[in-house]
A and B are shown apart, each in its own frame.
Chain A
Amino acid sequence: MASTMLAVTEPAGAQTDVRAGKYLTFHLANEEFGIRVLKVREIMGLQEITAVPQTPCHIKGVINLRGKVVPVIDLRLKFGLPAAEYTQRTCIIVTQVQGESSAVLMGIIVDGVSEVLNLTAPEIEDTPDFGEDIAGRYLLGMAKVKGKVKILLDIDKVVSTQEIHGLNAILS
């Protein structure tokens, strides 16, 4: 823990990694993921979602976030994992991502959130090359914390509208 604190206060020249910083971790199936805390606006329990017709199945629809209409995607479906029943632990992480012109809010449904971790540069590794199958372009890197591997997501790319439209084009 002490080393973690040190790394934050001390801008270590050679060791600086833009990826170091605080991450919110959550889990999907048996995998742990992390997204930058700065991207997270709020975490809320599941609420009723209004489905939007003619959209890919991972786009669950829209919710009312205090007067704003916010789209919600199911990250399990997005990553091709089998759909799971929503439970008490299921929640929506509202993220602020870079849209085409301005920042937009986007909700992502995950199986449950775990904790906020402060990751230092030595703990972060580049993504190994998995070949074509795994969507490596969504990943910032891998973090090893207490013997566990967390997958760091580039949430901007995961929910980018281009991605959604691209899928639209394939579906239609």
Chain B
Amino acid sequence: MRPSDELRQLVDDLALRLMVEDPAASAGSNFSGWIPALEKIRHGAAQESASAVGTTAEGIIATLGAGGGLSGEQAAAELQEGILRLQGAIEAASKAPAISESPENRLAQDPELLSDFILESREHLARIETQVLAVERDPCDSEALNSIFRGFHTMKGLAGFLELWDIQKLAHEVETVLDRARNFELKITPTAIDVILESADHLRRWVAHLEATLQQRPTDAPRQDSALLARIRTLTAAPDSPAAGDLAALAAAVEVKPLEGPPAPAAASDETSAPPETARAGRRGEAMAVKVDTAKLDYLVDMAGEMVIAESLVRHDPDLRTVKSQRLQRNMAQLMRITTELQKTAMAMRLVPIGPLFRRMARLVRDLSRQFGKQVEMVTEGDEIEIDRTIVEELADPLMHMVRNSLDHGIEPPPERLDKGKSPTARLLLRAHHQAGQVVIEIADDGRGLDREKILSKATQRGLVASGSGLSDNEIHNLIFEPGFTTAERVTNVSGRGVGMDVVRRHIEKLRGRIEIHSQAGCGTSFLLKLPLTLAIIDGLVVGVGKERFIVPLFAVREMFRPTEKILWSVQQRGEMALVRNALLPVFRLYRKFNMEPRSEDPCQSVLIVAEVEGNRFCMVVDELIGKQEVVIKSLGETFKSVAGIAGGAILGDGRVGLILDLERLFKDRTSETNR
């Protein structure tokens, strides 16, 4: 809606009055006299839903109203600038096309711009958070401070462009604080850190709201948090006098630093080397990155895979074999190298570094350690390790659970740590590294470790185990993965509900990973998550059944062998079992399940594969083992979504499609097969 002439007149009057009275010149003039006029403008703006004008007016009122600490000159300057902004807002509003009032509704008409904004804001907010934590550790880190400033500044600009005034306003206020901080006019205090983090949270809520609006899921817009705005303003308005000394010292410290020469970076690297370094790496990576549609990426991977197959078909062509030419051989070898390299590169394009995920945990550690009154230092290693994008996203929840558990149960409060002769500051290590083609993520604390006795007594109480006798440490530790298991005496909002670890394990298994615990009483606990590099590829065991070939995911295979009659047993002539390593395991025959013609009905002529899903082991009978192959998983599409026991398809080395078995489903359905 266009602002009416009346509103414009009000603002013009104000500007005129400013010129006439010139409050900056007359010291000690009373600024409260301006407020009624401003209120009138705000009221008028609200009626005409000229939100930009209203917000600006409100901003001036708040500055003047809260401005007990403002000197006359400052207030006059604020006022002058505010009135200029008001005029600008009026201009902008009258130019803007007279359409809908709610910014989100209007924006929904340009979803592309908005979704770009959402995406970009998320990135900025994530970086802001990391950098704020860096600043908290080292308030002199001007690099980080600048980065935070840039983040808010960009968001402000974008929000202004999209006419999201509330976001723009908040970002602007924070930006002012940061601007002063980086000019050494303001000291970054813990309060300031809190306020900045809270502002970031508030902006994140806004972004979430925008996203919901975009997806046609109306939510309530986050309320403009005037308390937060006021707190930001108190920061900027805080009298400089007491801080002046500190500021000088601060400035001196910053100036001295480069003079110290080589020792300074060395000293820094001892303590806080990891965060700034990774931060810089992140910025560098950002400059080099390109956003690509995942569908295009998938197509590239498909084509690369096809090229490898086509290349192998050509290479093994019988006609070509008869040609004895060194040159041909050399060129073929070269072609093979290139295709393999190309396929590897195409696969690697789906991978992202794990660092940002770790940095998200830093915030959690900060907040929780305050809440629990514990001192925790989080250390990350292997931030540059790359892993499938989907895995990173899916990993956030389980990782958060485990970090929470560590802080709540594992790490002791400082006095207790001192009693035990440990440093009062606990260490939480997040480490990623490669191991045997997998990525291992380690979450290790140096807390009290798992309490064997307590777990055992709880487990007996819940009837999970009959008695503690004969259980290895490892078996006892694994009890914490049982659903509903908790050793916490009381339920906090953080942990103790017993929905933690079993969910974590299920998540990890869904990602085709495994979880292990190593714990030593008094020295700490470490969780090892072993994850595949990517979800798009699995190591498959190619097996033959009848005329068809199937792919068994190797991560679930424990062993395979040709059985002898001695180990096979049947129950009532129906259920079959095999004795493998002193354990009786159910046996099921794949050909029966799939109604196929096997090469031999006699299991002693076949191969037994021992597989494990969700902690259950079972044996599967197949005709033969053909080999092991890394395959790219492809969906069979909606046509076959109801086929039980098949997880997908994959292109085998000869270009044909092989079906990947869904062992979990096969195991669950095996009863229906045996009853047949």
Contact = CB atoms under 8 A, between A and B. Distances in A.
Interface of A: 48, 50-55, 59, 61-64, 66-69, 71, 99-101, 104, 106, 161, 164-165, 168
The interface centre, meaning the residue of A59, A67, A106, A168 with most chain B CB atoms within 10 A of its CB, is A67
A63 B646 CA distance: 16
Contacts of B549: 50
Main secondary structure of the interface of A (DSSP, over half): mixed
A50 B303 CA distance: 20
A57 to B, nearest CB: 11
A165 B642 contact: yes
Interface in B586-605: 593-596
A71 B594 contact: no
B659 A66 contact: no
Given A52-B659, A64-B655, A67-B302, A168 B642 contact: yes
B659 A67 contact: no
B651 A53 contact: no
Contact of B305 (A61, A67, A168): A67
A51 B548 contact: yes
Interface in B487-520: none
B639 interface: yes
A149 to B, nearest CB: 31
B306 interface: yes
30 contacts: A50-B649, A50-B657, A50-B658, A51-B548, A52-B636, A52-B646, A53-B593, A53-B594, A53-B595, A53-B596, A53-B646, A53-B659, A54-B594, A54-B595, A54-B645, A62-B636, A62-B640, A66-B303, A67-B634, A67-B651, A68-B302, A69-B637, A69-B649, A71-B636, A100-B638, A101-B638, A104-B637, A104-B638, A104-B639, A161-B638
Interface in B306-322: 306
Q: What 7 A-B pairs are tightest by C-beta distance, nearest first? A: A67-B302, A53-B594, A69-B649, A50-B657, A67-B306, A71-B639, A69-B634
Nearest to A70: B637
Given A55-B643, A71-B640, 17 more contacts: A50-B549, A50-B657, A50-B659, A51-B548, A52-B636, A52-B659, A53-B596, A53-B659, A62-B636, A62-B659, A64-B655, A69-B634, A69-B651, A69-B657, A71-B639, A99-B638, A161-B638
Contacts of A55: 640, 643
Nearest to A160: B639
B657 A64 contact: yes
Nearest to B641: A161
Contacts of B640: 52, 55, 62, 71
The interface centre, meaning the residue of A59, A66, A164, A165 with most chain B CB atoms within 10 A of its CB, is A66
Given A52-B640, A164-B639, A66 B656 contact: no
B646 A69 contact: no
Nearest to A102: B638
Contacts of B644: 54
A53 B302 CA distance: 25
A48 B651 CA distance: 12
B635 interface: yes
Contacts of B303: 66-67
A164 B549 CA distance: 24
Contacts of B657: 50, 61-64, 69
A68 B639 contact: no
A36 B548 CA distance: 34
A45 B458 CA distance: 65
Contacts of A100: 638
